[in-house]
Amino acid sequence: MKKVLVTDWGQVLFHVDHSAVENLIIEGRIAQALELVEKLDKNLVSPSLALNEFNRYYFKEPLKLTEFVSLFTGAWHKVNAPLLKLYNKLKKKGVRIAAITDISEMTFYSICKRFPKAIGLFFEESENPAELIITSFEARAVKKNFTPFSRACSRFGFSPEEALFVDNDAGNIEIASALGFETFLYEINSASSNALLENLSLKLFFPHLK
């Protein structure tokens, strides 16, 4: 029987629209720009230094720091309401809900401020109350580097075999599966995907129920 559901954030629990960012990037430089985004997510470069590089090499026209921050944080524009409802339902039944997400520090704190109900999903009351959240900027590694997964297990006290991991990225799913997690590849904006996840969750977390 599984005990923990570990979810990704971007395009799973939260809807993200990167089109405004992509429209600003010079044609043919998306791949290199994404490498810089990953550095930002790993906290290997500050927002101001990242902006300097974006303005110099990737943006069609320069942005101010305030515009840059608003552009990236604003891309995370709403909560996936059906999935939040499912996760809350599972939590009320005793399932531990945790998150592993590739995200920059500036975006993380923006989300905490704008979507407190969603963030509250990860709060666990115990002897040492805490949010069960592992971020790439804290781990200085993204999910494809494995580190966030092992950190979640060690910090929150569960084994991969006790957990279900949900993500929309096939590469992250493959890594989690190799580590021993049960996995579910989430399809963005899909009602059938929500239903399939709910059915799988009931099967894995409550196998005694018929």
* pLDDT above 70: percentage of residues in the chain: 100
Say yes or no: 31 and 127 in one domain: no
Average model confidence (pLDDT) across the chain:
96
Structural domain containing residue 135 = 4-15+78-205
Question: What span, in angstroms and rounded, lies between the C-alpha atoms of 113 and 139?
Answer: 21
pLDDT at 43 exceeding the cut of 90:
yes
Q: Which pLDDT value is given to residue 74?
A: 97
Same-domain pairing of 57 and 139: no
What is residue 18's predicted lDDT score, i.e. its pLDDT? 94
- What tens digit of pLDDT does each residue of 9-38 get? 999 999 999 999 999 999 999 999 999 999
Check the CA dihedral 116-188-97-157 and report its sign: negative
| One domain for residues 146 and 85 | yes
Q: How confident is the model at residue 209 (pLDDT cuts 50, 70, 90)?
A: confident
* Same-domain pairing of 127 and 196: yes
Q: What pLDDT is recorded for position 180? A: 98
Count of structural domains, the chain? 2
> Binning pLDDT at 50, 70 and 90, where does residue 189 land?
confident
- C-alpha Rg value of the chain to the nearest Å: 18
Same domain, 34 and 124: no
CA distances from 185 to 8, 25, 164, 165 (A): 11, 29, 11, 9
Residue 60 burial (CB count, 10 A): 10
Q: Is the pLDDT of residue 183 over 90?
A: yes
Rounded CA separation 21/24 (Å): 5
Q: Are residues 107 and 163 in the same domain?
A: yes
pLDDT (average), residues 173-183: 98
pTM: 0.95
Q: Are residues 156 and 185 in the same domain?
A: yes
Q: Write the pLDDT tens digit of every residue in 54-96.
A: 999 999 999 999 999 999 999 999 999 999 999 999 999 999 9
**Structural domain includes residue 147:** yes
Confidence class for position 201, pLDDT limits 50, 70, 90: very high
Task: Say whether both 135 and 62 belong to one domain.
Answer: no
**Residues 20-56 as b or e (16 or more Cβ within 10 Å = b):** ebeebbeeeeeeebeebbbebbbbebebeebbebbee
| 196 shares a domain with 96 | yes
Q: How confident is residue 173, by pLDDT bands cut at 50, 70 and 90? A: very high
Q: Are residues 169 and 152 part of one domain? A: yes
* One domain, residues 84 and 174: yes
172 and 70 inside one domain: no
| Tens-place pLDDT, residues 107-117 | 999 999 999 99
Domain boundary among 29, 47, 74: 74
Please give the pLDDT value at position 210.
58
Domain with 113 in it: what CATH number? 3.40.50.1000
